[in-house]
Amino acid sequence: MALIELSKLGGSFKMRIGDSLDDFRRYVPENTVIISDENVSSIYGHRWDGFPAIIIGAGEKIKTLDTVHAVYSQLMSYGIDRSGFVVGIGGGIVCDIAGFAASTYLRGIRFGFVPTTLLAQCDAAIGGKNGVNFEGFKNMIGTFNHPEFVLCDPKFLQTLPAIELTNGFAEVVKHALIANFHFFDWIEKNASGMMHLEPKVMTHLIERSAHIKTAVVSNDEKEKGERRKLNFGHTFGHAIEKVTGLSHGQAVSVGMSVASAISLQKGYINSKQYERIKMLLKALGLPVTMVAHRQAVIDAMFMDKKRQEDYIHFVLLKDIGSAIIEKMSLSDISGFIGRDDIF
Ligand code: ADP
Ligand code: ZN
């Protein structure tokens, strides 16, 4: 089992990779409530027998204040007081809802995560951001607050739908691209093992990815600078996701290809590196291009909450394994992506 620790204001966050779901019982008090979703609980619910559970629906649509409201009501009905503990067992959505509800209920009670998707294990469960969507905008309402533990069991991935696995691969490639050439190289060599969920490969993948995210976050917990690099591929990605309905990972993959193409045009990376990035995304079953209404994507991009003025903090690659942030205006970006509707 690998253990990653991140010290943070007022305590420390521990991530355990390779533990089994059953181990969460060792880290929680008696008055613990489980929050999970209907899919995860139908497969794994018997593993938390004996604990009261709050089961939410599945899918991005339920990541709302209404769901949080329902969670507060159930926490009250279970008599959870300030000594209570919440464990979120599920994908990124469950972690978001559980983390946000626990951080705000009675001004904050203790919580931990058992992420069950690759995306949550490599990305969403780490970093201390918890939040919900509001009036059509992603993650508009939320808190910065770390769970006490994140327990990663790679065996969960065996029941994960293929598309959810692919979504996780996109974030893993993102971590390699912005921070570590050797990891990128390793992913190229192990793409087939990843597609086949080889246990050793998956454990290493989660560990490396979690290390990169933890390192970036610990340098910049409140997203003032360095942490913005984690938005690589996401400025376009979120807009594409909103306009086309592609999955998050697919949209981010196209977004990373677009950001790599801009990096190429600026002369930061060369065409060999650019082709290598696209090849790897394709090898992992991710799209690198798509057709969408150009103006709709640009409009959606400039509506993003991270917009501060008339420019965007756009993440580009200096190299495979090294990112930089540049302020780009709407017209700069439009100039780079051309005039047609193919991204
Ligand atoms: P993400 O982690 O990508 O944000 P979600 O929380 O939306 O994703 O989870 C993606 C979908 O996969 C949801 O429908 C969820 O119920 C389901 N799911 C999560 N973990 C598992 C698992 N281990 N096995 C099967 N389905 C799962
Ligand atoms: Zn993402």
pLDDT tens, residue by residue, 214-239 = 888 887 766 677 889 999 999 999 89
What separation, in Å, do the N-terminal and C-terminal C-alpha atoms of the chain show?
A: 41
Residue 111 CA to residue 100 CA, distance in Å, equals 10
Q: Are 123 and 70 in contact, with CB atoms under 8 Å apart?
A: no
For the CA of 21, the nearest ligand: 1
Residue nearest to atom 25 of ligand 1 (CA): 160
If you measure from the C-alpha of residue 219 to the centroid of ligand 1, how many angstroms do you get, rounded to a whole number? 29
Dmax over CA atoms of the chain, in Å, equals: 60
Check if 91 has its Cβ closer than 6 Å to any atom of ligand 1: yes
Check if 125 has its Cβ closer than 6 Å to any atom of ligand 1: no
Residue 152 CA to residue 165 CA, distance in Å, equals 15
Per-residue pLDDT of the chain (343 residues; tens, 9 = 90+): 777 776 665 567 788 998 899 999 999 999 999 999 999 999 999 999 999 999 999 998 999 999 999 999 999 999 999 999 999 999 999 999 999 999 999 999 999 999 999 999 999 898 889 999 999 888 899 999 999 999 999 999 999 999 999 999 999 999 999 999 999 999 999 999 999 999 999 999 999 999 999 888 887 766 677 889 999 999 999 899 889 989 999 999 999 999 999 999 999 999 999 999 999 999 999 999 988 888 888 888 877 655 556 788 899 999 999 999 999 988 888 888 876 766 7
The closest-lying atom of ligand 1 relative to the alpha carbon of residue 95 is: 6
Residue nearest to atom 7 of ligand 1 (CA): 59
For the CA of 232, the nearest ligand: 2
If you measure from the C-alpha of residue 210 to the centroid of ligand 1, how many angstroms do you get, rounded to a whole number? 18
Total H helices, total E strands in the chain: 12, 11
Q: Are 301 and 239 in contact, with CB atoms under 8 Å apart?
A: yes
Residue nearest to atom 6 of ligand 1 (CA): 91
Check if 156 has its Cβ closer than 6 Å to any atom of ligand 1: yes
Check if 97 has its Cβ closer than 6 Å to any atom of ligand 1: no
Q: Shortest CA distance to 261 belongs to which of 273, 279, 246, 249? A: 273
pTM for the model stands at 0.91
